Amino acid sequence: MKNIRRKQGLLKIVCAALGITTILSGCSAAKTSNSAKGSSDQYPKQTITFVVPYSPGGDFDTTARILVPFLSEYLPNKPSVIVKNVPGGNSVVGTENILHAKPDGYTIGYFTLPGIALGPLIGNGDYDLTKVEWIGQVFNLPYVAAASKTANIKDIKSLKALPKLRVGTTGITTSAGLGSFIASKELNIHPTFVPSGGSSESVMAASQGSVDFVQFPYPAMRQQIEAGLIKPVWTYSKERLKNLPNVPTIGELGYPQLSGLVNLVGAVGTTPGVSKEHLQILRDALKKAMEDPKFLDKMNKQYHSPQYLNADDTLKEVKDDIESLKKYADPIKNSIKN
């Protein structure tokens, strides 16, 4: 009888021990499962596509290729970030490629301001930039006004005195063309706009005397300026450019309002609906990249004027651009029709 009771007692102890072991095993399995789930949900875990709304070459493509390795470095898991060139429609095609992507944070890219803000105002593109999930601004390139050697242009007065002024542009609805159009309105001049293809073609036309005047970011004209093929007349910057210390700003010449409108901005955004968690990861990575001395050094060596703005400030700039461009929308539409 005692042996039976002893065996029953041992059996209870064994069962109890097995029960504890099962519970512990269950807890361990649950932890492993949760850990695995957390790992599988971690963002980003695959390649991120960085859309550039222009063909290879040029300011946006160049700065994107400088930026993406640093984004990869500062993102969790160090995913590959690849540049995808989506040209067309004065950057509208690339913009809509970003806006209509799956809202998972794996498609980001450049928005070309202020030009892209003009599209919906003149019926070129059905999108709302205020709905973009902004990540931040990367660069702000002021434009330089430059004259052909064959044109007798030394200042605004001599510019106005020309009986026929030929201005080389990349198309009136691009940021460069828009800048030329706005400047002509504010300066009260009436030029003939000569579409010359890309910025390099327009600058080449000025250096050859085929057009009298061009306005583009300094990097696009640096070689021709240094070679003396074209002459810088003023800049659309708030302060004189360190590379052109003897060239006055448009503000010094009496038109400070133009320094905020005639420029080229590269702002990074992603698809509406991306989660707040993923957005914050992207924003943190961009901020760290923009603070990296190596990134800044590469940008400055290419004369690309890095200038960071956070997501909120970028949205504010976008809204300001839209509001400022409203008064030019009808004149631009009429100009396109004519």
Q: Which residue has the tokens 């973009």?
A: 132
CATH of domain 142-260: 3.40.190.10
The per-residue pLDDT for range 66-115, each reduced to its tens digit, is: 999 999 999 999 999 999 999 988 889 999 999 999 999 999 999 999 98
The per-residue pLDDT for range 196-213, each reduced to its tens digit, is: 777 889 999 999 999 999
Report how far residue 242's alpha carbon sits from residue 119's, in angstroms, rounded to the nearest whole number.
33
Residue from 287, 149, 310, 173 nearest 231 by CA: 149
Please tell me whether the peptide bond between 114 and the residue prior to it is cis, using omega within 30 degrees of 0: yes
Of the pLDDT bands very low, low, confident and very high (cuts 50, 70, 90), residue 41 is low
Report how far residue 105's alpha carbon sits from residue 115's, in angstroms, rounded to the nearest whole number.
24
pLDDT more than 70, % of the chain: 88
The per-residue pLDDT for range 268-290, each reduced to its tens digit, is: 999 999 999 999 999 999 999 99
- With a CB cutoff of 8 Å and minimum separation 6, the contacts of 123 are 333
pLDDT at residue 119 tops 50: yes
pLDDT of 312 reads 98
Q: Where are the CATH 3.40.190.10 domain residues in the chain?
A: 142-260
Higher-pLDDT residue of 34 and 53 is 53
Q: What is the mean pLDDT of residues 7-13?
A: 45
CA distances from 16 to 4, 20, 25, 203 (A): 18, 6, 14, 86
CATH of range 48-140+264-337; options 3.10.20.30, 1.10.150.130, 2.40.50.140, 3.40.190.150: 3.40.190.150
CA distances from 50 to 58, 86, 272, 282 (A): 16, 10, 16, 12
pLDDT of 336 reads 78
CA distances from 2 to 9, 10, 58, 315 (A): 11, 12, 94, 84
- 235 within 8 A of 250, measured Cβ to Cβ: yes
CA distances from 243 to 55, 218, 219, 253 (A): 27, 9, 10, 19
Q: Where are the CATH 3.40.190.150 domain residues in the chain?
A: 48-140+264-337
Predicted TM-score of the model (pTM): 0.82
